[in-house]
A and B are shown apart, each in its own frame.
Chain A
C-alpha cells in the first residue's frame, strides 16, 4: 500500500470512474454518476492490470488521517484488497468539491462529514461494474457472483477474475441505475470501524514523504523575504549592495509588503534576505499594542451596540433569583505548523501552475484569478502529497499568491519558503476576544438567563484578505464573494458566537448573544475549531461559576442542566465513570471539567491537577467523545491524543501579543508547545454510535482548554478569566 505518484489523473469534462493502465495506456468509461450528485462528475479511481486500485482523495493530508479514511470508505464497498490500494491527491477540478461544504477545500472537519456517503457509493458502483463484467464474460447471472479482495468469484463454476483483468470491460458498461446502488449496512462493513494503520506510515517513517518545501521545478528560483516588523508596513526603499554580491542571488524585488531576494537555492535567498537593509514605512499599526487592543475591546463591550446573534425569550424578565456578571478574555493564537508555509508557482504562456499542498484549492484558483487576471482554467494546481500541519492556517493562500506574483515578475518558477519567525509574526491568527456575560439561576438552580456580548473580529468577512497586500480591489472581491453564497451575507459572523450557549445544548430559555465586530491589524483566521476554541473556554468557565453560585458540583450541575439531552448525558456519565469523578469535594481535589458540541460531535473532558505555588501538575486527563460513526478508530484515537495535548498547551501557554505593531513571539522558544516532558497520562473513551460521522480533530481541543482552566480554579480557589494561564504566572 502506498501513496501513488500522480500521473493517471487527466480529467475531462465528463466523468469517469474507471481506468486501467493495461499496456501503459489509460482507458476510461464515461460516467454520469448518481454517486456524487447531478452536478458533480469526475475520476475517482483507477484499477491497474496489476490489480492495484488507485483512489483519489480530494482532501489534503495534513496529519488528520483523512486519506486513509477516504480509501477505507471506497475499499469497504468495493471489496478491495487493502494491501493493493494506493491513494493520490486530486487536482483542482471542481468535481472534487465537497458535497456537503460546497467548497474545494479541506476545512471545517468536512472530510468524513462530506465524503462518508459519496466515497462508499463510488466503491459500491465500481463493485457492481466489476461483477457485471465478470458475469457477462462467464454468461452467468450477477446474483451468482461474489466479491472479495479485488476479485470476482463464481463459486458454482469455481471461476475467479481479478478486478484488474475486468477493468477494461467494466469501463465500457452502462452504469447501474441510481436506485439500484445499495450501500452496505454497518454489520456488513469490513473496514469501517476497524483500526487501520495510516496509508502514509511507512513513507513518513523513512523520510520518503514529500511536502511543499521538497518541490523542485527545473529552473526554479528560491525566494525569501524581508518583511516590515510592523504589521501592514511597507518597504519605502532598500539597500541590496551586500546582497547582490552574494553568489547565486538573481533578483531583489520590492513588492511593497516586503522585499524578496530570489536566488539559486533556499540558503542563498535566506541569507540574502537577512542582509537586506530596508527602510520601512511602518504605517498605522505601529501605534497598536496588546494593551491598546484590550482597551478597545473593553470600550466596545461597554459602549458599542452589538448585532443580534441568538435570541430566545427575554433576558430582562427571566425570573432569575441569582446572577453573576463576568468578563472573559482569550488571546490571539498562532498555528505554529511545523512545515514553514511555502508555495511554488510558475507563470508562463498565459497560465499559472502551482505546486503546493494548500488546503484551499478553491481559494488559490479564485484569488490567483484576481491577482493575475487569469481565468480559472488557466490556473493549474499540482498538489504535493503532504503538508506539515495546518490547524486552519493552510486555508490561507498568501504564500501561493506571493510565489505567483514573483514568478510573473521574474519570468521563472519561484518557490517561497518562509522562515519560522515570518510564519509566527506575519501570519494569521485565532482572533483575540472579550466576552461579557450576565447569567442567572432560578430558585431551583436552573440556568434561566444568559446575556452575552462578544467582541471579536470577523473571520467570515475577511476571507479574501490575502489579496489586500497585492493592491487588488478588495471591495470588488468581497462583493463577488458575497454574491457567491448566502453564508457570506449573514449579518453575524457564524464563527464569532459558535460555542456560546445555543438552544440545542444548554437549553437556556432566555438567551441573548450579541456580537460587536472588532477591527485590528492582526489578521484573523480559522484555528482548530474556530470560534469554539475561545468560546468553549468562556462558556464553560461561566457554567463553572454558575455551579459555584448554585453551590453544586461542576459535573452534577451540568448534568442537571442537560438532563433532557440524552447525547450529553451519555457523555457526562461516561466521563464521570472513567474519571471516577468524586461525588463529594471534586473541586477540592483539583478536578475540573468541560463539555460541548460542535462539528456534529459531542465531547467532554475532565482534568485533575495539583497546584504548588504556580506549578501545575497534571494528575489525570480524561476525555470522552461521541463523534457518531468512527471510520478509523486508529486515527480517531490519535486525533484525540493530539487534540488533548493542543488544548492543554494552549490553555497554559498559547498567546500572541503585540508591541507597537510588532508581534512579540517568534519561534518555539517563546510560543511554547508541549514536548514529551509535559506529556500527561491520557485516558480516552470513544462512545459507540450509529449516527453519521462528525469531527474528531476540532471537538477535543476546545474542551481541554476550559477543563484545565476550571481544574486550576478548583485547586486554587481563584478563577482566571483570561488565558493563557502562564499570563498569571503558572507553569507546568
Chain B
C-alpha cells in the first residue's frame, strides 16, 4: 500500500511501488489534467509539484513521493485561478493544449523560486517542450505573472 497526498487529500493506494506517478495520478486518482507525452522525463508535459518543486511525474516512482505534498494542475488554483493561469488566459497562450498543464506547473514552480526573473532566467530554467511552439506567449505569460508584462522581448 502506498500513501499519497495529492492536492491536500490523502489517498491509500494498492499500486506497485515502482509505478510512475503520472499513471497513478491519471488512472488511479482520475486527475487527467496531467498528461504523459515523452514518457522519459524530457518534455515536461507531465510536470507536477512535489513539495513545491517541479517534477516530471512520468519519471518519478510513486514510492519516492510517499509522505511528500503533491500538487497537480487541478490543485494549483486551490482558491480560484493561480496567477500563472490568469496570465496564461490573458496571453491566450495555448494551442493544442496537451503540454500546457505541465508548462503552467513548471512556470509556477519557477516563479515561486524566482519571483522577478529576467528573460534569460526564463529561457534557461523553463525547459518544457511545446510542439505547437507557443513559446512567444509562454514567455509573455511568465513575465505577466511575475508582474513584468512590459519587459521587452
- Give residues in A with beta carbon < 8 Å to B: 61-65, 197-198, 200-211, 213-214, 265-267, 270, 336-340, 386-389, 391, 419-421, 634, 638, 641-646, 649, 667-669, 673-677, 679, 681-682
Given A387-B96, A645-B135, the answer on whether A267 and B23 have CB atoms closer than 8 Å is yes
Kindly provide the distance from the CB of A640 to the nearest chain B CB, expressed in whole angstroms. 10
Q: Which of B79-119 contact A (CB under 8 A)?
A: 81, 85, 88-89, 92-101, 104
On whether the beta carbons of B27 and A389 are closer than 8 Å, the reply is: no
On whether the beta carbons of B126 and A386 are closer than 8 Å, the reply is: no
CA distance A214 to B123 in the complex (A): 31
B78 within 8 Å of A by Cβ? no
| The one of A389, A646, A677 that contacts B96, using a Cβ cutoff of 8 Å | A389
| The one of A270, A388, A419, A682 that contacts B97, using a Cβ cutoff of 8 Å | A388
- Of all A-B residue pairs in the complex, the 5 with the closest CB atoms, nearest first, are A207-B33, A388-B98, A63-B96, A204-B97, A645-B133
CA distance A681 to B23 in the complex (A): 37
User: A644 contacts which chain B residues (CB < 8 A)?
Assistant: 133
10 further contact pairs, Cβ within 8 A, besides A338-B37, A386-B97: A205-B81, A205-B88, A206-B81, A207-B32, A213-B36, A388-B97, A391-B131, A667-B40, A676-B127, A677-B123
Kindly provide the distance from the CB of B14 to the nearest chain A CB, expressed in whole angstroms. 10
Kindly provide the distance from the CB of A653 to the nearest chain B CB, expressed in whole angstroms. 12
| The one of A64, A210, A667, A673 that contacts B131, using a Cβ cutoff of 8 Å | A673
B45 within 8 Å of A by Cβ? yes
On whether the beta carbons of A63 and B132 are closer than 8 Å, the reply is: yes
Some 21 contacts from A to B, beta carbons below 8 A apart, are A64-B95, A205-B85, A206-B33, A207-B33, A207-B34, A207-B72, A207-B101, A214-B26, A214-B32, A267-B27, A337-B96, A340-B39, A388-B97, A389-B131, A391-B131, A420-B38, A644-B133, A668-B40, A674-B133, A675-B128, A676-B138
Given A204-B97, A211-B35, the answer on whether A669 and B131 have CB atoms closer than 8 Å is no
B50 within 8 Å of A by Cβ? no
Q: What string of 1s and 0s marks CB contacts (under 8 Å) between B63-81 and chain A?
A: 0000000001110010001
User: A641 contacts which chain B residues (CB < 8 A)?
Assistant: 133-137
User: A61 contacts which chain B residues (CB < 8 A)?
Assistant: 96
B130 within 8 Å of A by Cβ? yes
CA distance A682 to B134 in the complex (A): 12
Q: Which of B120-153 contact A (CB under 8 A)?
A: 122-124, 126-139, 153
**Interface of chain B, main secondary structure:** loop
**Which of B85, B92, B97, B135 has most chain A Cβ within 10 Å?**
B97
On whether the beta carbons of B94 and A204 are closer than 8 Å, the reply is: yes
Given A204-B97, A642-B133, A676-B123, the answer on whether A667 and B42 have CB atoms closer than 8 Å is yes
On whether the beta carbons of B135 and A389 are closer than 8 Å, the reply is: no
B6 within 8 Å of A by Cβ? no
Kindly provide the distance from the CB of B123 to the nearest chain A CB, expressed in whole angstroms. 5
On whether the beta carbons of B131 and A266 are closer than 8 Å, the reply is: no
Please report the number of residue pairs spanning A and B whose Cβ atoms sit closer than 8 angstroms.
Answer: 167
On whether the beta carbons of B95 and A386 are closer than 8 Å, the reply is: no
On whether the beta carbons of B133 and A669 are closer than 8 Å, the reply is: no
- Give residues in B with beta carbon < 8 Å to A: 16, 19-20, 23, 26-28, 31-40, 42-43, 45, 72-74, 77, 81, 85, 88-89, 92-101, 104, 122-124, 126-139, 153
| The one of A339, A391, A646, A677 that contacts B35, using a Cβ cutoff of 8 Å | A339
| The one of B16, B98, B104, B126 that contacts A676, using a Cβ cutoff of 8 Å | B126
Given A667-B40, A667-B42, A675-B129, the answer on whether A386 and B135 have CB atoms closer than 8 Å is no
On whether the beta carbons of A198 and B133 are closer than 8 Å, the reply is: no
**Which of B28, B34, B36, B132 has most chain A Cβ within 10 Å?**
B132
- Look across to chain A and name the residue whose beta carbon is closest to the beta carbon of B87: A205
User: B136 contacts which chain A residues (CB < 8 A)?
Assistant: 641, 679, 682
On whether the beta carbons of B27 and A642 are closer than 8 Å, the reply is: no
User: B45 contacts which chain A residues (CB < 8 A)?
Assistant: 338
User: B122 contacts which chain A residues (CB < 8 A)?
Assistant: 676
Kindly provide the distance from the CB of B146 to the nearest chain A CB, expressed in whole angstroms. 14
User: A682 contacts which chain B residues (CB < 8 A)?
Assistant: 136
Kindly provide the distance from the CB of B134 to the nearest chain A CB, expressed in whole angstroms. 7
CA distance A546 to B60 in the complex (A): 55
CA distance A634 to B136 in the complex (A): 13
User: A267 contacts which chain B residues (CB < 8 A)?
Assistant: 16, 19-20, 23, 27
On whether the beta carbons of B97 and A209 are closer than 8 Å, the reply is: yes
On whether the beta carbons of B20 and A198 are closer than 8 Å, the reply is: no
User: B131 contacts which chain A residues (CB < 8 A)?
Assistant: 336-338, 389, 391, 673
User: B98 contacts which chain A residues (CB < 8 A)?
Assistant: 211, 337-339, 386, 388-389
User: B77 contacts which chain A residues (CB < 8 A)?
Assistant: 206
User: B123 contacts which chain A residues (CB < 8 A)?
Assistant: 676-677, 679
User: B73 contacts which chain A residues (CB < 8 A)?
Assistant: 206-207
CA distance A644 to B16 in the complex (A): 44
On whether the beta carbons of A201 and B89 are closer than 8 Å, the reply is: yes
CA distance A203 to B40 in the complex (A): 26
CA distance A642 to B126 in the complex (A): 18
User: B130 contacts which chain A residues (CB < 8 A)?
Assistant: 338
CA distance A265 to B36 in the complex (A): 14
CA distance A649 to B133 in the complex (A): 10
Kindly provide the distance from the CB of A723 to the nearest chain B CB, expressed in whole angstroms. 18
